[in-house]
A = this chain, B = another copy of it.
Amino acid sequence: MRFATLRLPAGGTTAAVDRGDGWHRLPAPDLSAHLAASHDRDVAELVGEPVGDGEPVLPLPAPAKVVCCGLNYADHILEMGRELPAHPTLFAKFADTLAGPGDVLELPAGSHNDWEGELAVVVGTALRHAGPEQAAAGIWGYAVANDVSVRDWQNRTLQWFQGKAWDGSTPLGPVVVTPDELDPVAGVEVITRVDGVERQRGNTKTLVFDAAHLLSYVSTFTQLRPGDVVLTGTPGGVGSGMRPPRFLTDGALLETEIPGIGTLRNRIALTGPTGAGQELA
């Protein structure tokens, strides 16, 4: 099964499900609302009329928690000059950080804006102190994400957060695919292209911490709830790891693909100066 939030030709959005026979309405305006209200209901009871034409938009506009893992692919860890970790490296984003699968990403001009294609995990049941098996059963589905990073801000201080939480910088989508259709432990590819040139191609079978272990680990210190999102880290091939480094330019097309889920296609718009707080280096 796949789920999406679709923009309707007549205006507004709807949550929708495709069980192999095309998109059908669910009784919620988006997947955040669907999961908050109906995550424990059988989808078959909720399916409404077919949606003829609908463009996928940000599937989950309102997660209470977006937790991200860095340094989780062996090849990316090595290209960043670090050692393989004993524990997942975690940081947070906000709901405001997310963007839709076709949205323009506004990023600060003069900064080092880099790509990080990732597999995203969507939580389907409440998890606290969950072991890996319970966490695995609590995975609602998978989406594509790009943890676009403002590297100079990320590296201004010891904490990456300020380079990782720019509003509307992290595209997510285009749909959410349930675990019966996709097995990241067996392996799915995560591919990033910039202006048509492939820059990243990793496989989730090489994740140091897989989705279930990440959810289990996070649930040790905080409750995860339906609709929360966990990003699993990026494979090798980021721009800052290139010699010389390369970054996203104004107007660039950033494509992030996971076969079996779909492709995000986001144009880059560099903007700025953006006010007294910016203090660009």
Write the residues of chain A forming the contact surface with B, with a CB cutoff of 8 angstroms: 64-65, 70-71, 85-97, 128-132, 135, 150, 153, 156-162, 165-167, 216-223, 274-279
CB distance from A13 to the nearest CB of B (A): 20
Q: Which residues of B contact A158 (CB under 8 A)?
A: 70, 89, 158, 160
**Is the Cβ of B161 less than 8 Å from the Cβ of A92?**
yes
**Is the Cβ of B130 less than 8 Å from the Cβ of A275?**
yes
**Is the Cβ of B277 less than 8 Å from the Cβ of A131?**
yes
- Bound-state CA distance A221–B85 (Å) is 29
Question: How would you classify the secondary structure of chain A's contact residues: helix, strand, loop or mixed?
Answer: loop
- Bound-state CA distance A137–B132 (Å) is 47
Q: Which residue of B lies closest to A220 (CB)?
A: B277
- Bound-state CA distance A92–B161 (Å) is 7
Q: Which residues of B contact A65 (CB under 8 A)?
A: 94, 96
- Bound-state CA distance A208–B104 (Å) is 36
- Bound-state CA distance A275–B95 (Å) is 28
- Bound-state CA distance A58–B118 (Å) is 36
**Is the Cβ of B159 less than 8 Å from the Cβ of A70?**
yes
Q: Which residues of B contact A221 (CB under 8 A)?
A: 150, 153, 162, 165-167
- Bound-state CA distance A260–B130 (Å) is 42
- Bound-state CA distance A243–B161 (Å) is 31
Q: Which residue of B lies closest to A276 (CB)?
A: B131
**Is the Cβ of A87 less than 8 Å from the Cβ of B167?**
no
CB distance from A274 to the nearest CB of B (A): 5
A-B contact list, 22 entries, CB within 8 Å:
A86-B156, A87-B156, A87-B279, A88-B162, A90-B157, A90-B159, A91-B159, A92-B161, A96-B223, A129-B275, A131-B276, A131-B277, A159-B159, A162-B221, A166-B222, A167-B222, A216-B275, A218-B277, A219-B275, A219-B277, A220-B275, A220-B278
CB distance from A163 to the nearest CB of B (A): 8
- Bound-state CA distance A97–B161 (Å) is 17
